[in-house]
Structure 1
Amino acid sequence: MIDRPDVIVVARSAIAAAPIAEMQALCDALANSGVAAHTSFAFTEQGEPALRECLSERIDAGAGRIVLVPLLVPREPSFANWIAKALARWRAGDERAWPPVLLAPPPMALPGAGDLLARAVAATHDWPQPPEPVLKAEGSIVPAQKHRMLVCHGAPCTAAGAALVWGHLRNEQARQSLRTVGEGMMSAKSTCLGPCSLAPVVQVWPAGTTYGGVDEAGIDAIIRDHILSGQVAEAYAYPADGRKQRLRKGSA
């Protein structure tokens, strides 16, 4: 009999209490099925715990095998590739012995998914419906924060793991209160920023500085040097000189 694995249910993002509770309920139901030695959840984008943190916790706990179950609908074709690259990068920078980390198929790709959706349709009348919205005129505050950090989500950057970069940025933005610290910072996803061969690409405005090969360590450096200290994070910066540039060795 194969030993039961530790299972991490993986979703994109969640920060409010209700979706966090929903993820926990899914883990509890999976635990009650008896297929897993331990169940937990993690996010690839904004939300805690981040996937890397959850993996680290299970490695410290002595997991013999870890299975990632992706709850991503639809799932990008590049998902398996950038998850594999991220796992390899995290493992290379870790002195601990890692157990096998396996990727399960998305539940909606399995036989019976159509029956599950049909059951959802049939249960509509028993499910609480959202109330009618109360429309009222509201004003909007124009953000006073000076810095704007854009994380490219074009195809090459997505394939290079932009979702993990974005998630780490958003988590650090909340953890360090970056909207209100110093000159303040806002963040946003972006379509293609141009230098696709430097993926994942991040730009910081109003300076217009382009950073390439950005991983979690790169985000930390950009926050520390550029956002908080007003200096270019040179290890990840590429000059806007109108010439073709290649990703430097050692970058993500």
Structure 2
Amino acid sequence: MPIAEIETASSQPKRAVVLVAKSAFAAAPYRQMQRLADLAAALPGVGHASFSFTEQGTPSLREALVALRQAEFSDVLLLPLMLPIEPSFTAWLTKSLRRWQAEEGGAWPNVRIAQGLADSPLLPALMAELVVGADVAAPVPRLEKLAPEGSLVPAQKRRVLVCQGGPCNAAGADLIWGHLRNQQDRQKLRVTGDGTMTAKSTCLGPCNLAPVVQVFPEGTYYGGVTEAAIDLIVTEHLLSGVVVDEFAYQPTGRKQVLRPRPSSDGKSDQR
């Protein structure tokens, strides 16, 4: 069921389940996620079930939660579908949830995070069923010789690197990466302006400014990056060539800390 069609009738239980996956690009995985959401919606006590993505794919987790909040659900359960799940997953997701709540303001439903699939006692039985079912699958055919494949050299002049180092991952870099990729697709950034390519990176250096993004050809570092920061970087830097000073950090030769910025209530907020 699309987010726009969430039922809000007073007789409906105000409890929702959001299936959380990493990313999806083609139609087939979206159909798979919708099938799983339909199964979850049929469970006792569930008033609505939907799916979302922490990386590329729509709706993003934030978009799904905002929709449920507007539909006045009182309780939301996040059900991670990823395998494996990094130990830091719950920590950075909790931190991101708190940031979203502060930025959006107002009342929010109770948000809970379910255990991962690997911790389920039903997983061995599921794996056994999958192994038995695979016996009827045809083997992958062998090829005697692989034909060479060609590639186009990218014409895009701009590059955006999103740090995937430990501190940045702990600060929710996956969510920032997903928002950037979704904006790249929505705004056709590869063919707009100078053209933009995006990529994940190992540590970019200024770990205490996490999450960190670097934009080329200028090599500008951005720290404490949020979804709102990505939107500004896209509009002002990538499309207009103007550095977003609010989030930019210059190489001064001295250690720097994140600058406090106004929060949704106008007060200073250190991220």
Shorter-chain TM-score category?
over 0.9
Q: Which amino acid aligns with 1:214?
A: V
Within 5 Å, which residues of 2 pair with 1:5-84? Answer: 5-84=15-94
Residue of structure 2 equivalent to 1:196: 207
Are positions 1:89 and 2:104 aligned together?
no
Within 5 Å, which residues of 2 pair with 1:1-252? Answer: 5-127=15-137, 135-250=146-261, 252=271
Is this contact kept in 1: 2:83–2:117, CA < 8 A?
A: no
Q: Which amino acid aligns with 1:184?
A: G
Give the SS at the match of 1:9.
strand
Give the SS at the match of 2:161.
strand
Q: Which amino acid aligns with 1:225?
A: E
Is this contact kept in 1: 2:14–2:73, CA < 8 A?
A: no
Residue 97 of structure 1: CA displacement?
1.5
CA offset digits 1:137-192 (Å, max 9, x no partner)? 22111101010000000010000000000000000000000001110000000000
Residue of structure 1 equivalent to 2:266: none
RMSD: 1.7
In the aligned structure 2, how far is the partner of 1:78 from the partner of 1:69?
Answer: 16
Residue 126 of structure 1: CA displacement?
3.7
TM-score (norm. length: structure 2): 0.87
Where does structure 2 lack aligned partners over 5 or more consecutive residues? Answer: 1-12, 262-269
Is this contact kept in 2: 1:15–1:48, CA < 8 A?
A: no
Is this contact kept in 1: 2:54–2:61, CA < 8 A?
A: yes
CA offset digits 1:196-245 (Å, max 9, x no partner)? 00000000111111110001011111111110111111001000122211
Residue 78 of structure 1: CA displacement?
1.0
Q: Which amino acid aligns with 1:91?
A: Q
Give the SS at the match of 2:135.
helix
Is this contact kept in 2: 1:10–1:44, CA < 8 A?
A: yes
Residues 110 and 186 (structure 1), Cα distance of their counterparts in 2 relative to 1, 3 Å cut: same
Residues 44 and 130 (structure 1), Cα distance of their counterparts in 2 relative to 1, 3 Å cut: farther
CA offset digits 1:8-54 (Å, max 9, x no partner)? 00001001111111111111122233342111000000000100111
Q: Which amino acid aligns with 1:245?
A: Q
Alignment: residue pair count: 250
**Identity among equivalent pairs (%):** 51
In the aligned structure 2, how far is the partner of 1:100 from the partner of 1:130?
Answer: 47
Give the SS at the match of 2:104.
coil
- The list of structure 1 runs, each at least 4 consecutive aligned residues, that deviate by more than 3 angstroms after superposition, is 126-135
Residue of structure 1 equivalent to 2:10: none
In the aligned structure 2, how far is the partner of 1:245 from the partner of 1:185?
Answer: 28
Residue 5 of structure 1: CA displacement?
2.2
TM-score (norm. length: structure 1): 0.94
Q: Which amino acid aligns with 2:260?
A: K
Higher mean C-alpha deviation, range 207-216 or range 111-120 = 111-120
CA offset digits 1:95-144 (Å, max 9, x no partner)? 43211011111122121212211111111024576666794222111101
Q: Which amino acid aligns with 1:109?
A: D
Residue 77 of structure 1: CA displacement?
1.0
